Amino acid sequence: MSELYDRYNRKIDYLRVSVTDRCNLRCLYCMPQEGVKPKSHDEILSYEEIKLLAAAAVKAGISKVRLTGGEPLVRKDAVKLVEMLANIPGLKDISLTTNGTLLPEFGEELKRAGLRRVNISIDSLDPQTYKKITRIGKLEHALAGLNKSSELGFEPVKVNTVLVKGINDDPRDFVKLIYDYPVHVRFIELMPISKRDPGLFLPIDELKANLAHYGSPEEAEGPQGAGPARYVTFKGALGTIGFISPISHHFCSTCNRLRLTPDGKLRACLFSDEEFDIRPVLRDNLSEEEIIAFIRNVLVSKPEEHNIAVLDKMDRLMCQIGG
């Protein structure tokens, strides 16, 4: 298999595929309360087109694919896409980021189709705070998804928690969670996409200071697919707590990601307004070599570091890009 590098000699082996910008929740940092305007059938990539791109990307050097959204499981036949991707020779890992609420319904099918790992977004373990952040969500539904993931043997199971200052910045409940379950909680700094209120931002270092109130955390090895997170644990705990700080301590020098939006735009950097429409390439019956050439050209746009100032000009919502 080939290897894929950008112009700063970073190895690119990870493709994040956002399959839809729709969601059954309305998280305040991701989309407006009214949701997003539905896109026409032609605007959204078909599963066949996603597989075509993914197969070319794997041929070029991608070894891991993560399905994201919006909420990927609200798209009809999402299990079918997992099965299609699992049949790509050379693809080593397929994972899913989900809010977990639909895992009780689809988890078993996803496992059979070839899904390896899940990240479940749960921003609070307090029912009222969870509803405040998601606007319409019920914590019990997300926890049912978390339990289903453990029951089915997905490994590792990660819990993603986006920090919102003054709302969910006390980690007490998550410390208790890792004593009770072998899960890996990752606290993630709020990304200022879509002109979010800067007063909601909490640096990861403040969260770490709060964590010290509940014991003496020790450095720990991260799970498979740890990515940019740095982990700690507590004596006697079954799981770990990780920290992802794209704003206060960025990890651009080790970024290995390429992103595909639901409407067929390839993005080399989350914090960039540059994106490239691959729909004509996929719909014009071009060869796999030509698709690979397009991917390599997109990587030329990958910056050495992200530019936060660009975010003020971006019209895209987080759900439209894929986190």
Phi and psi of 188, rounded to 5°?
A: -120, 130
Tokens 């729709």: give the residue. 22
How far is residue 90's CA from residue 111's CA, in Å, rounded to a whole number? Answer: 19
pTM of the model: 0.94
What lies within 8 Å, CB to CB, of 162 at 6+ separation is 27, 29, 121, 123, 188, 189, 190
Q: What per-residue confidence (pLDDT) applies to 315?
A: 72
Ordered structural domains, the chain, with CATH: 14-321 (3.20.20.70)
Q: What per-residue confidence (pLDDT) applies to 314?
A: 67
Q: Is pLDDT above 90 for 59?
A: yes
Tell me the mean pLDDT in the region 92-117.
Answer: 97
- Average pLDDT taken over every residue of the chain: 93
Q: Is pLDDT above 70 for 226?
A: no
Q: Is pLDDT above 80 for 195?
A: no
CA dihedral 207, 212, 213, 214 (to 10 degrees): 110
Q: Per DSSP, what are the bridge partners of residue 64? A: 14, 93
3-state secondary structure of 157: strand
Tokens 């992802």: give the residue. 244
77 is written with which tokens? 């036949």
pLDDT band per the 50, 70, 90 thresholds, residue 70: very high
How far is residue 270's CA from residue 196's CA, in Å, rounded to a whole number? Answer: 15
- Classify residue 33 by its DSSP letter: T
Tell me the mean pLDDT in the region 106-110.
Answer: 98
pLDDT band per the 50, 70, 90 thresholds, residue 224: confident
Tell me the mean pLDDT in the region 59-73.
Answer: 97
- Classify residue 44 by its DSSP letter: S
